[in-house]
Amino acid sequence: MPDPQSRVLDLIFGRWRSQILHAGVRLGIFDALREGPRTAAAIAAELGLDPSLAYRLLRALGSLELLHEDQARSFSLTETGELLRRDHPQTLRGVTLLEEGPEHYALWKHLPAMVRDGKQNAFIREFGRMAFDHAAQEPGYAEVFHDAMSSYCSAQTAWVLEALQGYDFSSIAHICDVGGGHGHLLSSLLARHPHLRGTVLELPQVIEDQELLWANRLGVGDRCTYLAGDMFAAVPPADAYMMKMILHDWNDEECVRILGNIARAAARGARLFVIEHLVPGPETPHFAKLFDIHMMCWGTGRERTVEEYRALLERAGWKYVRTWFPRSQMMGAVEGARA
């Protein structure tokens, strides 16, 4: 364990690391190295960078163990650095560009003021509008945001499938993923359970580009339908529903509206899985406790405990059943049944 002073200094300088990482991704360094080792001069020439300053950035990325540098100033990707290539199947490139990009970076300076005056949502303070409204007006931000969601989805899907690997889906024929994006999670679940058919409910602009949709790419296009709609208005009938990282975007009253709409469409006994980063007890450090501060900055939502999701379910006509976790406990699936 580091001494307390070193620990605090490490926290203070943490943003240096993430901004160095962001610069490397933004400049295309990880993609330039996908074919193997190259010199700093060759990378700089391809990407149109200053050779001297590029070398210093590459050296810093090496210090973060994202690149390996040899004695000839030649660099190659480490296993960790591979995850930042655009074409890596588990790429985290999009997450990097969103979370360390100019919009989200700008939000954090408002954190002390929000905590003082009890009013969250730094997007309103910085840009004068909600994040989703900002995305509708700024195509560049919208593209980065959707790339980030896609970038993160493979890890999330793996956690959810592991959490639900012991679940008995035999009584379920049709499952609807509410706000399911391009359908990575639902399509992966359908691939694992061949008797299931599914529906992804999403906003029209999210699913209009057919090339981004996962159902055909994962071989379940004959069992997966994409439906344009709005979860605040209505959802289709189904035997079961999923929502992954949806409710954390919204405050309690907004969540009850969404859950209530699903309850009205669901038959008695229908199942619902609320999939989120769940906040554990005070004795456990956890990513969800940090993500909660990001949500304080980003909008009206929050990360919640299992008990808090249970209360929301019960307010909207659902009965809490149990919570399913993967080994890492990174995410959880809170199961409810239509009361």
Give which of 288, 285, 270, 248 is closest to 337, Cα–Cα: 270
Minimal CA–CA distance to 240: which of 116, 129, 335? 335
Per-residue confidence at 150, pLDDT binned at 50, 70, 90?
confident
**Does the CA dihedral 314-318-319-325 come out positive or negative?**
negative
What pTM, to 2 d.p., does this model score?
A: 0.92
**Has residue 151 got a pLDDT over 90?**
no
pLDDT at residue number 10 = 93
pLDDT value, residue 208: 93
pLDDT digits (tens, 9 = 90+) for 111-145: 999 999 999 999 999 999 999 999 999 999 999 99
pLDDT tens digit sequence for 283-300: 999 999 999 999 999 999
| Whether residue 72 is found in the same domain as residue 175 | no
Using CA atoms, how far apart are residues 104 and 331, in angstroms rounded to an integer? 23
Mean pLDDT of 242-263: 98
Rounded mean pLDDT, 309-330? 98
What CATH number should be reported for the domain holding residue 132?
A: 3.40.50.150
138 & 80 share domain: no
Which residue, of 67, 86, 105, is where some domain finishes? 86
**Residue 144 pLDDT:** 93
Q: What is the pLDDT of residue 215?
A: 97
Residue 301 sits in the same domain as residue 163: yes
Q: Are 254 and 226 in contact (CB under 8 A)?
A: no
Same domain, 73 and 124: no
Tell me the residue length of the chain: 339
- Residue 154's H or E segment, with its range, is helix 139-163
Task: Report the distance separating Cα 153 and Cα 236, nearest Å.
Answer: 24
Active site residues: 248
Does position 1 have pLDDT exceeding 90, yes or no? no
Residues 156 and 52 reside in one and the same domain: no
Residue 112 lies in a domain: no
Residue 103 belongs to some domain of the structure = no
Residues 6 or more apart in contact with residue 99 via CB below 8 angstroms: 18, 148, 294
Average pLDDT, the chain: 96
Find, among 260, 261, 256, 213, the residue nearest to 236 by Cα. 261
**Regarding predicted confidence, which is higher, 172 or 149?**
172
Does the residue 98 lie in any domain?
A: no
State the DSSP string of 232-300: TT-----SEEEEES-GGGS-HHHHHHHHHHHHHHSPTT-EEEEEE-----TT---HHHHHHHHHHHHSS
What is the per-residue pLDDT for 301?
97
pLDDT category, 66, cuts 50, 70, 90?
very high
Beta strands 224-228 and 240-244, pairing class: unpaired
pLDDT band at 216 (very low <50, low <70, confident <90, very high): very high
Indicate the number of domains in the chain: 2
Has residue 2 got a pLDDT over 80?
no
Residue 108 is assigned to a structural domain of this protein: no
Asked if residue 242 has pLDDT above 90, the reply is yes
pLDDT at 89: 87
User: Where residue 49 sits, what CATH number does that domain have?
Assistant: 1.10.10.10
In a domain, 10, yes or no: yes
Domain boundary among 86, 107, 140: 86
Q: Which domain holds residue 196?
A: 117-338
Q: What is the pLDDT of residue 146?
A: 87
Q: What is the pLDDT of residues 69-116, one digit of tens each?
A: 999 999 999 999 999 999 998 899 999 999 999 999 999 999 999 999
- Domain identity same for 279 and 227: yes
Residues 174 and 43 in one domain: no
Residue 69 and residue 140 in one domain: no
**263 in the same domain as 190:** yes
